[in-house]
Structure 1
Amino acid sequence: MDFSENYICKYGREIQSAHFGGSKPQISLHTVMVYTKNKKTSMCTFSENLRHDPFAICAHLKPIAEYVKTLVSNISMVHFLSDGPSTQYKNKSLFFLIVAYISKLFTCQAIRWHYSESGHGKGAPDGIGGCLKRTADNLVAQGKDLDNFSSLIKELQENCKGISCHTVSGSEIQKIKSELSTADLRPFKGTMTIREVVWTNTSYNLLEARNLSCLTCGVQECCHYKIGTINIPHLNLSQNKNDHHPQMQSTELLPGTSRKQNKKIEVNMAEQNRIHYKDVYSSDSDSEEMTLDELRTPKIKYSISPKVNNFIVVLSSKKQSKYFIGLVLNIDRDYNYTVKFLKKIHEYKFVFPEKDDVSPISLDEVVCVLASPDLNKREQYIFNSLSDNVYIS
């Protein structure tokens, strides 16, 4: 499934100012190819609401779920296949909604959501969107006016019999957003490496994240590609289990533990499965910030008395300790410094950014004074002796 590019309503005949005007209404299209054991169906949901966020996705999936239930009375597993944009299908909000909303919508026992790699090319959902918009353009070329939402839906339902068309109201999207708030969720570290998430009705509020889809392990804990467990802490577990999975009336405890101890063990297990920032972004050479290891040097302490036009190392500790290099522009009577900061482009190479980064600092923030750097033909300042001059107390 995928969001198709919004369709712009058109007239069969229009004056020049109307043709180039920007006031024409747009329609959002969400295309889905549904595969069941004995049937495959092309479907598309239309909405005047142009949102493509996780709440809109859930609203667009509602007619799909209702249709699937007419084909399959007892759904054991649902496979979703989509691309992985971080604003739509692969983010903390959708992970939460898989557990809190989509699992209830399909009343299934397991969900496996697969994400295709970037640059995957076109698929069946793209063909559905192309067919619908090509049909609409042909109707406009024949002189028909598709100038609003209702006229577009009516004509497409009559001329595209092989595609099941449904409408989604903006109020439905807003209702889902108001009932299921995701404001306090914490992102999963390593989201961009995920290629599959798995939920089962026995895991309650947990999603298993994998860096590849595993056909061997299925919905069981994967021993091949598991990278962590996503915990959904804000979900009302008792309501989820009792209302939608009547067979789960109690929480199983680990042997020899109390309910409180069991909860702590579950949290610790989830913490151990988390991956770290470096597993996703292995290189930080483009960072403007200097790490502690880059500035750690032999223990040679220097007296700190910066002067105008000296290059200095400044410690910024608003949230965590970070180090920056700047040029002293001015010193007032109270020993407050005006510093113009540089941008790091390589291990020892720095440049002044196009937009000046000038800030006042105090003497307490100055770590040390650096030796004068070399300036190459590209106006890059090279601090060859950086590791020899800097001392971090």
Structure 2
Amino acid sequence: MISSHCIVSDDLKHDVNMVYKTQEIVLKYIKDNFPHIKQIHYFSDGCAARYKNKFSFLNLCHHQEDFQINAQWSFFATSLGNSECDDIGGTTKRLARKESLQIPLDKQSTIPKTFLDFCDKKMEKVKFHYIAREDIDIIRSSLETCFRDMRTVPGTHSFHNFKPLNSTGTTEARRMSIDKEPSLLT
């Protein structure tokens, strides 16, 4: 069963905190609908602001503890993801733009809830979720303490697969996800 999800938010910072909140939502859906799944393998581009950074690596190390499911993360070359996610986001924006051109200016809405309702009606096969800025701010403040003393792991840009070994921050890094042995332990 394939299920597509799209996040709508009034928080415009696309950072590790938004990713964490998105994981909460999507993983809840997975656990509710597919309880037999015991491992998640994330695939994303290597955007350092959102995914491939020391903060995400720490979150990955705490993934089992936070979400009760094991995970690893593989990265495409930055800006070369062009996956189904790009299609869903692009289609959503295109339909909203087309609709806004057909609505008189005085009747247009810039409220995320109205946008979410529009998306639910126009794209019934996609599950849309709303994340309020306030919810992201709660995540930001709770993770801030964890992130305070983080160190950057040198050379992470040349590795494309990361798998946590424990919740203390030890991670295997591989140049390719199919490498038998890790090239780096952080």
Verify same fold: TM over 0.5: yes
SS of equivalent to 2:49: coil
Taking the aligned partners of 2:111 and 2:167, their CA distance within structure 1 comes to 43
Which residues of 2 match residues 133-152 of structure 1 at below 5 A?
Answer: 133-143=93-103, 145-152=108-115
For 1:103, the equivalent position in structure 2 comes to 64
Which entry has the higher C-alpha Rg, 1 or 2?
A: 1
1:221-260 equivalences under 5 Å are: 222-223=180-181, 226-230=182-186
Partner residue in 1 for 2:86: 126
Is contact 2:46-2:79 (8 Å) kept? no
What residue is the counterpart of 2:162 in the other structure?
A: 197
Per-residue Cα deviation, 1:99-145 (whole angstroms, up to 9, x for no partner): 23x3334311x312000013525211000001111111222133262
Instruction: Please tell me the residue identity of whatever aligns with 2:174.
Output: R
Quick check: which one's helix share is greater?
A: 2
Shift of 1:43: 0.4
* Equivalent position of 1:73 in the other structure: 35
Runs of 4 or more, structure 1, over 4 Å off, are none
Per-residue deviation, 1:155: 0.9
- AA partner of residue 49 (structure 1): D
3-state secondary structure, aligned to 2:3: strand
In 1, Cα distance between the equivalents of 2:50 and 2:91?
Answer: 23
Q: Which residue of 1 aligns with 2:139?
A: 176
**Pick aligned residue for 2:14 from 52, 57, 66:** 52
Query: For residues 74 and 98 of structure 1, what CA distance do their matches in structure 2 show?
Result: 21
Aligned to 1:87: 49
Deviations 1:60-110 (A, max 9, x none): 22211111111221431101000011111011111111123x3334311x3
Q: Which residue of structure 2 lines up, in the alignment, with residue 162 of structure 1?
A: 125
Q: Taking structure 1 as reference, are residues 119 and 91 closer, same or farther at Cα in structure 2, changes over 3 Å only?
A: closer
Letter in 1 for 2:67: F
Q: What are the within-5 Å matches in structure 2 for residues 8-23 of structure 1?
A: none
Equivalent position amino acid for 1:165 in 2 = F
Q: Percent identity?
A: 24
Q: C-alpha separation between the residues in 2 aligned to 1:158 and 1:43? A: 14
Q: Is the 8 A contact 1:75 1:107 kept in 2?
A: no
SS in 1 for 2:5: strand
Q: CA deviation at 1:191?
A: 1.1
Query: Is the 1:46–1:168 Cα contact (8 Å) retained in structure 2?
Result: yes
**TM-score normalised by L of structure 1:** 0.43
The one-letter code sitting in structure 2 at the alignment partner of 1:131 is T
Determine the C-alpha separation between the residues in 1 that align with 2:109 and 2:25.
24
Deviations 1:136-166 (A, max 9, x none): 1222133262322121111111111011000
- Count residues with an aligned counterpart: 180
1:86 to 1:119, Cα distance in 2 relative to 1, 3 A: closer
Alignment-derived partner of residue 152 in structure 2: 187
SS in 1 for 2:164: strand
Q: Could you tell me which residue of structure 1 aligns to residue 3 of structure 2?
A: 41
* Contact kept in structure 2, 1:79 and 1:111, CA below 8 Å: yes
Q: What is the RMSD of the two structures over their aligned residues, measured on CA atoms?
A: 1.8
- What 5-or-longer segments of structure 1 have no aligned partner? 1-38, 231-393
Deviations 1:19-75 (A, max 9, x none): xxxxxxxxxxxxxxxxxxxx1111011110111111121012221111111122143
Gaps of 5+ in 2: none
Report which of the two has the higher share of strand. Answer: 1
SS at match of 2:4: strand
